[in-house]
Amino acid sequence: MKTIVRFAGTPLVALMVVLLGLHEVKAQTEYKKLAQTGMKFLAVSGGARQAALADAFTAVEGASSSMFYNTATMAYLEGTADAWISTTQWIADIKHYYGTAAVNLWDYGVVGVSIQYVDYGEVQRTVFARNTKGYLDMGVFHPSAYAVGISYAKALTERFSVGGTVKLVHQYLGQGALTTDFRQDVDGKDVSLSNTTLLRAETDVPAFDFGILYKTGFKSLSFGMTVRNFSREVTYIRDKFQLPLTFRIGVAMNMFDFTDLDRSSQMLLLVVDAEHPRDYPEQVKVGVEYLFANTIALRVGFVSPADEHSLSYGLGLQQAFAGTRLSLDYAYTPFGIFEGVQRLSFRFGM
């Protein structure tokens, strides 16, 4: 057990010490798989700004894209409406597409819709066989997945908000052989299928996200908490698994609050998240964003522990005119033995 000591300093720094201390304890333990999950596309970050900050976005007041991170932060949406689209060039030539739209109902809260679609490309389908190749060629198929959701967030006070998302998650992974028989040649080698039962590996499952955001009142310090991908057990033919359930807590603050700099035109945002997923050890995520002249943003993020992707980088451009707000964001994540992951996002608000 760690000894708790009196810490002199800001609440943000104290909370960061707690989070990093929890990570230190975990880092001393053996790495091991905690559980198995499916539909892992739900755990892939879609936003360029968020990915550049290592996805440490649980306590950041957001726009409609918050539906993928902490719906409660959407309660403080500025303006009447907000729309956001994003694309992620994932590893193995897998492509993720995201879209959100939200409407501010003012005293009645904020309502939004979201969609995520995954294109896995072409996959060669084979069946194990006792022949020279060791398999039978069953042609190609196109697996895919999507999630569509409806979200609602409301600020109960000027400092506290809640939010949730109800979504339908769908995934198609081709056909699976429940029973397999073969036609054989004169040498007893398998040459084709016979009397084989094939079932579509396809399923739909409802899932839920919940979140809260609390503005502490100490300068711009905010605290957020969220649970994502809560659902029942999913069955594919005979195999059962859970969705990638994740619990996160995080803090965010403009560090220029401690300086005499003009905070109306520039910002140094520090974000820290602690994540407890179902299927791998806990992680600490730290991100820093510098915004200059309310126009140009530079970002960097760090995740630990991580196997292939610990650092991420990004930049953004934003501009407001004639009652509209536009922003364009880009993020790059080196991915170890794989090609780097690139993300591009565009936001429109009014």
Average pLDDT over residues 157-170: 97
pLDDT at 35: 67
DSSP character at residue 295 = T
Residue 97's Cβ-count burial label (10 Å; 0-12, 13-18, 19+) is middle
- Nearest in space to 251 (alpha carbons), one of 54, 23, 13, 64: 13
**Residue in the structure block whose two tokens are 């190749």:** 133
**Per-residue pLDDT at 139 exceeds 70:** yes
DSSP-H helix ranges across 34-139: 48-52
What does the CA dihedral 258, 263, 267, 269 come to, rounded to 10 degrees?
A: 40
pLDDT at 178: 66
Q: Give 193 or 42, the one with higher predicted confidence.
A: 42
Between 150 and 173, the higher pLDDT residue:
150
pLDDT tier for residue 179 given thresholds of 50, 70 and 90: low
pLDDT digits (tens, 9 = 90+) for 31-47: 455 567 889 999 999 89
C-alpha 305/C-alpha 301 separation (Å) is 13
What is the distance between the alpha carbons of residues 224 and 252, in angstroms, rounded to a whole number? 8
pLDDT > 80? residue 167: yes
Closest CA to 305 of 23, 41, 16, 21: 23
Q: What is the pLDDT of residue 193?
A: 76
Q: Which residues contact 261 (CB under 8 A, 6 or more apart)?
A: none
Confidence (pTM):
0.86
Q: What's the confidence (pLDDT) of residue 22? A: 46
What average pLDDT does range 165-181 have in this prediction?
Answer: 84
3 state SS of 256: helix
Q: In the predicted model, is pLDDT for residue 25 greater than 80?
A: no
All structural domains of the chain, each given as residue ranges with its CATH number in brackets, are 11-349 (2.40.160.60)
- Mean pLDDT check: name the lowest of 82-96, 225-239, 305-319: 225-239
- In this predicted structure, what is the pLDDT of residue 243? 94
**Tokens 């907000």 correspond to what residue?**
82
What's the CA gap between 95 and 90, in Å, rounded? 6
Residue 52 confidence (pLDDT):
98
pLDDT at 44: 95
Q: What is the pLDDT of residues 283-305, one digit of tens each?
A: 999 999 999 999 999 999 999 99
**pLDDT for 313 beyond 80:** yes
Q: Mind listing the pLDDT tens digit for each residue in 80-117? A: 999 999 999 999 899 999 999 999 999 999 999 999 99
Output the 3-class SS for 118-133.
Answer: EECCCEEEEEECCCCC
Contact 68, 100 (CB under 8 A): yes
Strands of 216-310, DSSP E: 222-231, 234-236, 239-241, 246-254, 266-277, 283-292, 296-304
CB of 88 closer than 8 Å to CB of 335: no
Residues written for the chain: 350
